[in-house]
Amino acid sequence: MATNVAMPQLGETVTEGTILSWAKQVGDTIGVDEVLLEISTDKVDTEIPSPVAGVILEILVAEGDTVAVGTNLAVIGEAGESTGEAAPAAVESADPFESAPPSAPSAPAPPKPAAPPSAPAAEAPAPAPQAAPAPAPPEPAAAAPASGGEQTTVSMPQLGETVTEGTILSWAKAVGDTISVDEVLLEISTDKVDTEVPSPVAGTILEILAAEGDTVPVGAPMAVIGSASSALAPAAAPAAPSPAPAQVPAAPPAAAPAPAPAPAVPAAAPAAPAAASATVSATASAAVPAGVFFSPVVRKLAKEHNVDLSEVTGTGKDNRITRKDVESYIASMPAGAAAPADGASAAPAPAAAAAPAAPPQPAASQPPPAPTAPAAAAPAPVSDVPTMAGDRVEDLDRLRSRIGANMIKAKMTAAHVWTSVEVDFEKVERVRQAHKADFKAAEGFSLTYLPFIARATVDALREYPIVNSSFYLEQRKAVHHSAINLGVAIDLNQAGLVVAAIKNADNLGISGLARGVKTLADKARNNKLEPDDIAGSTFTITNPGPFGSFMSAPIINVPNVAILSTDTVAKRPTVITTADGQDTIAIRHIGYLGLTWDHRAFDGSTAVLFLARIKHNLENWDWEQELR
């Protein structure tokens, strides 16, 4: 029942990934959610946790190799198991489960007692659950949770082309609750939107793998849903490990020394918990309750600050440790408490004791040197920022942090260039004044300049389709979109900014565009945006004009290749040419349009011609006809 680990899809447009490093080698044991390898894509560098516990039987791709999404990277199973069994394990059929248990207990059983090291002791519990196939029919159900026979894993969805992770805001269901198809399972937040995630299937919540407050990458498992009968299977599995110690009584001496020379025993003991505990990360100790899920963010923080996660109190669901728990621990960690973390490096607490295990007695006298570590750990409050008298310091909220990260990423990705034109809005203003009362009575909101600009822009995008494209330099691809999905930047009452998309904007007139903007703005400000609302924009407009801006140079909403800024329209004296060809000075409604564009995708001539087309449309179209 070996398991193949494949290259995951870490983004809607990601097609391949590069192996940066393997955290485990062939023959190493690994626990569920323990880091197996690190990969890199054009979107993100991330650690990949193991989906199962076992032994690394085979590594199929070398470090530095780039492989397609879905390619098998490694095989994980039981010690001594043939890698050829990986294929049957991937097939979700009843027969393999019925036939596997008889052979599995019989073959592995002899090797377990035969090998003296602690590793077999760790492996012993694995066959134990299958060694009790008294009720043959129930056993396959017990195996299902491990291989997913009658269960469905709910993973973090991709809620936008550039979204790589999401934060669990709240769970609407708990373990043991029943749920229907499309019933709300949880609420998540990304840098684009907060949204509810419905259940893809009906059944019982068997397991919740990510705690509230945890941030997990797209594709990471969050919960397991199955039938009520399969929910009982895990209860039988934990019961099996108790007979296991009886089956391996060769290690009773370890129990006796445990009180005094505990450091020596844990050196071997951690191997057993690592294999027996299906959900405890390698960075956690035996003090952490089974079933705890460490998110990549928690693991990263713990590693960066040398935090022993067994010392952190979890406040998440089922006492799970969240990012805030680790951050609070780092900020408030007493100087003396830093020593174990520094000494442990990335290992569990027993490892810290194992270091002085060589000189057994000095182990007691070894702690004194530890206080020297606090000197290095004293600057732990790395999060401190310089302040002056009277300053008020506040934590950045999730949305502001994400906006900041996305803006930096966009500036580092696209080659930003800014171009602007002056536009005479006099014809637009006259039509707007003539129709604004009737429009408001019919629609319930005011007729602004924005739908006129949007209408003129959609026409220009048809004329210059390269401006309505997406650019991917690493893949050497440019995607020319057939649809014009007009992204609109919406201000969230000065608490943030989000881009929502009016789909197929080229099929809408002024009234339709005005309704689209109003609908999306209302949904955004009332936190009602849906994933589809913020996905798929092909060109973006931002509208700082109502706030009194003169000229603005916005940041491109990557992977779009341009963004248009509409600034304040005001009465200004300007030179116009009369019907008889005479120049004269007149008071007109003048405004400026600024285009930030990606010089990687096209050049200055295209940018200027595109803006000139919008200017021509606004100054010359029959807007009366457009409003009919």
Catalytic entry in 177, 182, 603, 622? 603
How many residues are present in the chain? 628
* Token code pair at residue 289: 């309750």
Residue 359 clears pLDDT 70, i.e. is over it: no
pLDDT for the residue 243: 43
Q: How confident is the model at residue 42 (pLDDT cuts 50, 70, 90)?
A: low
pLDDT for the residue 335: 54
57-102 confidence digits (pLDDT tens): 999 999 989 888 889 999 998 877 766 545 444 433 333 333 333 3
Q: How confident is the model at residue 269 (pLDDT cuts 50, 70, 90)?
A: very low
Which of 280, 492, 287, 528 is CA-nearest to residue 403? 492
pLDDT for the residue 120: 38
Residue 365 clears pLDDT 60, i.e. is over it: no
pLDDT for the residue 604: 96
Least confident of 39-53, 272-286, 329-343: 272-286
Known active-site residue 481: no
Query: What is the C-alpha to C-alpha distance for residues 179 and 185, in angstroms, rounded to an integer?
Result: 8
* Token code pair at residue 522: 């209302």
Residue 16 clears pLDDT 70, i.e. is over it: yes
- Residue predicted with more confidence, 282 or 608: 608
Which of 10, 11, 78, 12 is CA-nearest to residue 39? 10
Q: How confident is the model at residue 295 (pLDDT cuts 50, 70, 90)?
A: low
Query: What is the C-alpha to C-alpha distance for residues 184 and 200, in angstroms, rounded to an integer?
Result: 10
4 touches 91 (CB < 8 A): no
Residue 439 clears pLDDT 50, i.e. is over it: yes
pLDDT for the residue 161: 63
* CB count in 10 Å sphere of residue 12: 15
Q: How confident is the model at residue 464 (pLDDT cuts 50, 70, 90)?
A: very high
Residue 402 clears pLDDT 80, i.e. is over it: yes
318-332 confidence digits (pLDDT tens): 677 877 778 888 877
Catalytic entry in 325, 599, 616, 622? 599
pLDDT for the residue 84: 59
532-553 confidence digits (pLDDT tens): 888 899 999 999 998 999 999 9
Range 267-275 average pLDDT: 40
pLDDT for the residue 413: 93
Which domains are present in the chain? 401-627 (3.30.559.10)
Range 471-485 average pLDDT: 94
The secondary structure of 460-475 as a DSSP string is HHHHSGGGGEEEETTT
565-582 confidence digits (pLDDT tens): 999 999 999 999 988 999
The secondary structure of 517-544 as a DSSP string is HHHHHHHHHTT---GGGGS--SEEEE--
pLDDT for the residue 493: 85
Range 428-449 average pLDDT: 93
104-129 confidence digits (pLDDT tens): 343 444 444 444 444 333 343 444 44
Query: What is the C-alpha to C-alpha distance for residues 202 and 204, in angstroms, rounded to an integer?
Result: 7
178-228 confidence digits (pLDDT tens): 999 888 899 888 766 778 888 988 989 999 999 998 988 988 999 999 887
Q: Judging by DSSP bridges, how do beta strands 45-49 and 35-40 pair with one another? A: antiparallel
Q: In the chain, pLDDT over 90 holds for what percent of residues?
A: 40
The rounded mean pLDDT for the chain is 76
pLDDT for the residue 508: 94
Residue 555 clears pLDDT 70, i.e. is over it: yes
Most confident of 12-16, 225-229, 333-337, 622-626: 622-626
Known active-site residue 603: yes
Question: Which H/E stretch holds residue 17?
Answer: strand 16-22
502-526 confidence digits (pLDDT tens): 999 999 999 999 999 999 999 998 8
Residue 273 clears pLDDT 70, i.e. is over it: no
